[in-house]
Amino acid sequence: MKVLDADFIKGYIRMANDGWEQGWHERNGGNLTYRMKPEEVDMVKENFSPKEWTPIGTSVPKLANEYFISTGSGKYFRNVIIDPEDSFAIIEIDGKGENYRIVWGLVNGGRPTSELPSHLMNHEVKLIATGGKHRVIYHAHPANVIAMTFVLPLEDKVFTRELWEMATECPVVFPDGVGVVPWMVPGGRDIAVATSELMKKYDVAIWAHHGIFVSGEDFDLTFGLMHTVEKSAEIFVKVRSMVPEKRQSITSDDFRSLAKDFKVTLPEEFLD
């Protein structure tokens, strides 16, 4: 089967374009990776023509021999839908988890996302934590969440609590809460280590003054998670723009009642 005819590729392209339409991907901002299923690799591998092995810049041994789709470094989400073969690649990880090679795509040259170390270290953590269920890691630059990182203390508890309070569905969508990474230089191993450490606990990691990383099982759940977090942040910005303090909000006991009815577990550390 042609790569562009496969349903998982169509799902990837749709998600990238949805992110563009939300305004989360100015210029070449953001990146999206997907860990392919073995049957998806089999479906399209007749089209593969491997390029040279290149160091990942970190070590992800649990991802040995896996295949990923990755947006290209310097490529624009805006162009994914009109020129997929130029905008993203399928890459293969070597047997040690230290190098990758492009096997399809990026036909006019280029490399996978500059955030490949963060993406792959997050994939590795999530592969272990979810028994392989999570396949999608998504990084975007949504304005309202970024704005929050200029006015709140950069603490997991503060961000979790504010985001939960801004929309009743939030604790159901991300019951584990959100983690916050202080400002760091993007693209390297240090920020990848800090982010993947938080991903052991959360599905959402906010990068101060930069953006968000989310992890999920499929394109719908992962896009939906980003969308829910950013919608909640938008409400936070509106509320703060109207008044310095909330007049009323959802209380810790309200959250406990919600958790009971919706059968989710909310960590007590976020409920005092």
Q: Active-site positions?
A: 115
130 binds ligand 2HA (CB under 6 A): no
31 binds, among ligand 2HA, Zn ion, none (CB under 5 to 8 A by kind): ligand 2HA
Nearer to ligand 2HA, 24 or 164 (CB): 24
Name the CA radius of gyration of the chain, rounded. Answer: 19
Q: How many CB atoms lie within 10 A of CB 150?
A: 8
- Give the integer Cα–Cα distance in Å for 101 and 69: 12
17 binds ligand 2HA (CB under 6 A): no
Residues of this chain, 136-155, that bind ligand 2HA according to CB under 6 A: 139
Selected from 102, 211, 258, 266, the binder of Zn ion by CB under 5 A is: 211
Nearer to ligand 2HA, 185 or 243 (CB): 185
**How near is the Cβ of 29 to ligand 2HA at its closest, in Å?**
5
Q: Are 45 and 37 within 8 A, CB to CB? A: no
186 binds ligand 2HA (CB under 6 A): yes
SS3 label, residue 54:
strand
- Tell me the sheet residues that pair with 90: 69, 104
**How near is the Cβ of 10 to ligand 2HA at its closest, in Å?**
23
How far does CA 117 lie from the centroid of its chain?
A: 13
161 binds, among ligand 2HA, Zn ion, none (CB under 5 to 8 A by kind): none
175 binds Zn ion (CB under 5 A): no
Nearer to ligand 2HA, 33 or 162 (CB): 33
Q: Are 91 and 100 within 8 A, CB to CB? A: yes
Nearer to Zn ion, 58 or 118 (CB): 118
The Cα-based distances of 62 to 109, 119, 202, 262 in angstroms read 28, 13, 20, 34
- Among the listed ranges 2-10, 14-22, 27-35, 84-92, the one in contact with ligand 2HA (CB under 6 A) is 27-35
117 binds Zn ion (CB under 5 A): no
- Give the integer Cα–Cα distance in Å for 40 and 168: 37
Residues of this chain, 30-49, that bind ligand 2HA according to CB under 6 A: 30-31
Selected from 22, 28, 47, 59, the binder of ligand 2HA by CB under 6 A is: 28
29 binds ligand 2HA (CB under 6 A): yes
115 binds ligand 2HA (CB under 6 A): yes
**How near is the Cβ of 158 to Zn ion at its closest, in Å?**
22
- Give the integer Cα–Cα distance in Å for 136 and 125: 12
**How near is the Cβ of 169 to Zn ion at its closest, in Å?**
26
Per-residue tokens: 193: 């280590």
The Cα-based distances of 97 to 101, 123, 171 in angstroms read 11, 12, 35
Q: Are 219 and 12 within 8 A, CB to CB? A: yes
φ and ψ of 137, to 5 deg:
-125, 130
Contact residues for ligand 2HA, defined by CB under 6 A? 28-31, 114-115, 139, 186
